[in-house]
Amino acid sequence: MKDSAIAGSVDKTSSSSGVEPIKPPSLNSGGSGSHGLAKRVMKMGVLFVGFTVFWILLYNSASPFGFPVISHYLTAAMPAATKLGEKNDQKLDSVLRNASMANKTVIITTLNDAWAEPGSIFDLFLQSFQIGKKTKELLKHLVVVTWDQKAYDRCTTLHPHCYLLETNDNFTSEAFFMTPHYLKMMWKRIKFLGSVLEMGYSFVFTDTDIMWLRNPFGRFHKDADFQIACDNFRGNPKDMKNMPNGGFTYVKSNDRTIWFYQFWYNSRTLYPKLHDQDVLNKIKWNPFISNMKLQIRFLDTAYFGGFCQPSKNLDLVCTMHANCCVGLENKINDLKILLDDWKKYKALPNQHQNTTTTTTTNSPPHWTVPQRCSTSFERARIKE
Ligand SMILES: *[C@@H]1O[C@H](CO)[C@@H](O)[C@H](O)[C@H]1NC(C)=O
Ligand SMILES: *[C@@H]1O[C@H](CO)[C@@H](O)[C@H](O)[C@H]1NC(C)=O
Ligand SMILES: *[C@@H]1O[C@H](CO)[C@@H](O)[C@H](O)[C@H]1NC(C)=O
Ligand SMILES: *[C@@H]1O[C@H](CO)[C@@H](O)[C@H](O)[C@H]1NC(C)=O
């Protein structure tokens, strides 16, 4: 959270691509289990009322408007009443196929013009893959989803897998944190990612202001459906009290995650003032999720760090996010310093391979960031 990131996706609801006929609730997941799933959902419906009452009693205090009525939750949780769309998009299909790993996994980021400008975030993002360890080869699996034509054009000059989201909104300029404009983009992103899951692709979603310094795939939890980075990690990956950051997720495509993205997206109407991440923070407690046996894991900031809680050990860090930072200039400034820190680390003659091999003479290599980001919220408030 606390992130002025721009990222996104598009909804193609009824306007552009082929109109999907509305189907009765059943998951279209390209596999077995649709029927079993429908049954499970019905069973859950029965259990639901009891659970919900309990849940509302427990967590109602967190809701800004008292609590939404039970039928709203039921509506949000009914899968596939509204498919997230994008299904008939040939271009997207082709882009995903070209970028995919053998096991239908892609890396996705979203980009608008402000972040795509030369010298801006996108350049730093791509550079991180070049100077990271075993990250360069991941570039061929990276799909850059752009919000506007200008970002798309810039993308195609630098990268083979670019996709222009069709959108009626103008997402060209910098979206300021928590404005209605920002919220809209964030929700379009969730919708888009849900439709990627529906197409059978698993993905690592990464904000563009996340620097990839090591290949993260070895650090993911093997048994999880949905894994998400944290602003602050409390020490246990299963602890629902962890504060997730939607800027970095690894999601495997299956019945449970397809349902979950629909549930998440539909839940936006229950909390109109909140963005996807805060809504996730509410619905993560929902008994539906444990009933669906969706395996959620929170990623350790030791590997997936950020300015909120940096990865302390440069021998372990995989990614670093310019979170807890508002303002494009602040982010660019500090991310450049971060990459310089990384280059210095990489140039060390006696590079640390693990925590035990600390040099005795010097202090172990460390970040010199955040700098401008650490005061960016205060300064933004003064400006207003
Ligand atoms: C995918 O790759 C094929 C073969 O290299 C190419 O002809 C096609 O244009 C690519 N599709 C997209 C959308 O980039
Ligand atoms: C979108 O907004 C930007 C800046 O606010 C403006 O310069 C641009 O012309 C707009 N584009 C369209 C298609 O409306
Ligand atoms: C896909 O392949 C990558 C790279 O080999 C691996 O790390 C990842 O776990 C695989 N994903 C799935 C969903 O099996
Ligand atoms: C860490 O370094 C020590 C000393 O070089 C080595 O014995 C040990 O195997 C290393 N551990 C790991 C996990 O790489």
3-state helix, strand, coil split of the chain in percent (to 5) is: 45, 15, 45
Name all residues whose Cβ lies below 6 A of ligand 1: 91, 94-95, 98
Ligand in closest contact with the CA of 354: 4
CA of 358 to the centre of ligand 4 (A): 11
DSSP tag of 375: G
For ligand 3, atom 2: residue with the closest CA: 103
Instruction: Name the closest-CA residue to atom 1, ligand 2.
Output: 170
Which tokens is 14 given?
């009824």
Pocket lining: 15 vs ligand 4, CB cutoff 6 Å: no
- State the CB neighbour count (10 A cutoff) for residue 356: 7
Mutation to probe ligand 2, out of 113, 166, 173 (largest number of atoms < 8 A from CB): 173
For ligand 4, is residue 350 a contact (CB within 6 Å)?
Answer: no
Whole-prediction pTM: 0.78
Question: Which residue's alpha carbon is nearest to atom 10 within ligand 2?
Answer: 170
Q: Give pLDDT tens digits along the chain (384 positions).
A: 444 443 333 333 333 333 333 333 333 333 444 566 666 665 665 555 555 555 554 444 444 444 455 556 666 666 554 566 654 689 999 999 999 999 999 999 999 999 999 999 999 999 999 999 999 999 999 999 999 999 999 999 999 999 999 876 766 666 666 677 778 888 999 999 999 999 999 999 999 999 999 999 999 999 999 999 999 999 999 999 999 999 999 999 999 999 999 999 999 988 888 888 899 999 999 888 989 999 999 999 999 999 999 999 999 999 999 999 999 999 999 999 999 999 999 998 766 555 544 555 566 789 999 999 999 888 877 665
| Structural contact between residues 158 and 142, judged by C-beta atoms closer than 8 angstroms | no
Residues 6+ apart with CB under 8 A from 120: 114, 328, 332
Pocket test for ligand 3, best of 141, 217, 249 (most atoms within 8 A of CB): 217
CB-ligand 2 contact for 173 (6 Å cutoff): yes
Within 10 angstroms of residue 358's Cβ, the number of other Cβ atoms is 14
> Does the beta carbon of 149 lie inside 6 Å of ligand 2?
no
Determine whether the shortest distance from the Cβ of 368 to ligand 2 is under 6 A. no
Long-range (24+ apart) CB contacts under 8 A made by 97-104 are 98/160, 98/161, 99/140, 99/141, 99/142, 99/143, 99/160, 99/161, 100/141, 100/201, 101/141, 103/202, 104/200, 104/201, 104/202, 104/253
Which residue is closest in CA terms to ligand 4's atom 4? 357
Atom index in ligand 1 nearest the CA of residue 160 equals 14
- Kindly list the protein residues whose Cβ atom lies closer than 6 A to any atom of ligand 3: 101, 103, 105, 202, 217, 252
Question: What DSSP string runs through 5-55?
Answer: --------SSSSSPPPPP--S----SSS-HHHHHHHHHHHHHHHHHHHHHH
Tokens, residue 213: 């310094």
Distance of CA 105 from the midpoint of ligand 3 (Å): 7
Q: What is the pLDDT of residue 313?
A: 94
Using a 6 Å cutoff on CB, does residue 357 contact ligand 4?
yes
Interatomic CA distance for residues 152 and 145, integer angstroms: 8
| Ligand 2 close to Cβ of residue 172 (< 6 A) | yes
Which domains does the chain carry? 1-15+23-349+364-384 (3.90.550.10)
